Amino acid sequence: MTYFVKELFYTLQGEGAPAGRPAVFCRFTGCNLWSGLEKDRDKAKCNFCDTDFNGTNGQNGGKFKTPQELASKAESLWPGGGKPFIVCTGGEPLLQLDVKLIKAFQAKGFKVAVETNGTLLAPDELDWVCVSPKVINDLKQLTGDELKIVYPQDLISPDMVKDLNFTHYFIQPKDEAGTDHMRSVIEYCLANPQWKISLQTHKLMNIS
């Protein structure tokens, strides 16, 4: 299959348990909860996304005809040394990320992580699964390494998913213009110590 990639770049992971870790980010095009078009935002199941995932015109973006071609491009961005780590994100990466591509990344030495909305089942071959659900009724991936709830949301809350089988449980304040959700997130975590705060540290560092 051909893989449609919005952008591919080397940076620091900004959120959740791996925050601060050097990583190659592979942002796939497309999502099943929003078209990415502003005209559709109000009726989308996920209507607060701040990511451009349409097209293949981003940094190192393009159409990659084989898993090996994409894996080789990702390898070229890693500076050498350390423990190579690639984060597959979107949009919704599991619309494209398949076992052949996961194994191609791993053959280049990468540990492979995915950031998914949980509406599609993640392949067992992945090394790290982060689920950030948006709609409780659409949630299919019920286990993983990291569960991250953007808070607050209309269609899902931490109480709805607190019994799922994850290693880490994070709440992340919604980045919403004119509204500061930090205090409510702090109060929720103090009252429910199962949960930890995740911050978008890449925005604090002013990096991608």
Summarize pLDDT for 34-83 with one digit per residue, the tens: 999 999 999 999 999 999 999 999 999 999 999 999 999 999 999 999 99
- Phi and psi for 41 in degrees, rounded to 5? -60, -45
pLDDT at 207: 86
Catalytic residue among 46, 88, 130, 189: 46
Instruction: Residue 89: name the closest of 46, 38, 135, 53 by CA.
Output: 53
Whether 46 sits among the annotated catalytic residues: the reply is: yes
Whether 181 sits among the annotated catalytic residues: the reply is: no
Could you tell me whether strands 143-151 and 85-89 are parallel, antiparallel, or unpaired per DSSP bridges? unpaired
Q: Is 77 helix (H, G, I), strand (E, B) or coil?
A: helix
Whether 176 sits among the annotated catalytic residues: the reply is: no
Other Cβ atoms less than 10 A from the Cβ of 98: the count is 15
Q: Rounded to whole angstroms, how far apart are CA atoms 29 and 136?
A: 23
Instruction: Residue 140: name the closest of 156, 122, 159 by CA.
Output: 122
Catalytic residue among 2, 40, 50, 180: 50
Classify residue 199 as exposed, middle or buried by CB count within 10 Å of its CB (0-12, 13-18, 19+): middle
pLDDT at 175: 87
To which H or E segment does residue 202 belong? helix 201-205
Number of helices (H) and strands (E) in the chain: give both, helices first. 5, 9
Whether 202 sits among the annotated catalytic residues: the reply is: yes
Whether 31 sits among the annotated catalytic residues: the reply is: yes
pTM: 0.96
Residues of the chain scoring pLDDT < 50? none
Whether 49 sits among the annotated catalytic residues: the reply is: yes
Catalytic residue among 26, 31, 88, 130: 31
Whether 115 sits among the annotated catalytic residues: the reply is: yes
CA distances from 11 to 137, 143, 168, 206 (A): 34, 27, 23, 11
Instruction: Residue 53: name the closest of 117, 5, 114 by CA.
Output: 5
Q: Hey, what domains does the chain have and what are their CATH numbers?
A: 3-146 (3.20.20.70)
pLDDT at 205: 87
Q: Rounded to whole angstroms, how far apart are CA atoms 9 and 24?
A: 6
Q: Is 206 helix (H, G, I), strand (E, B) or coil?
A: coil
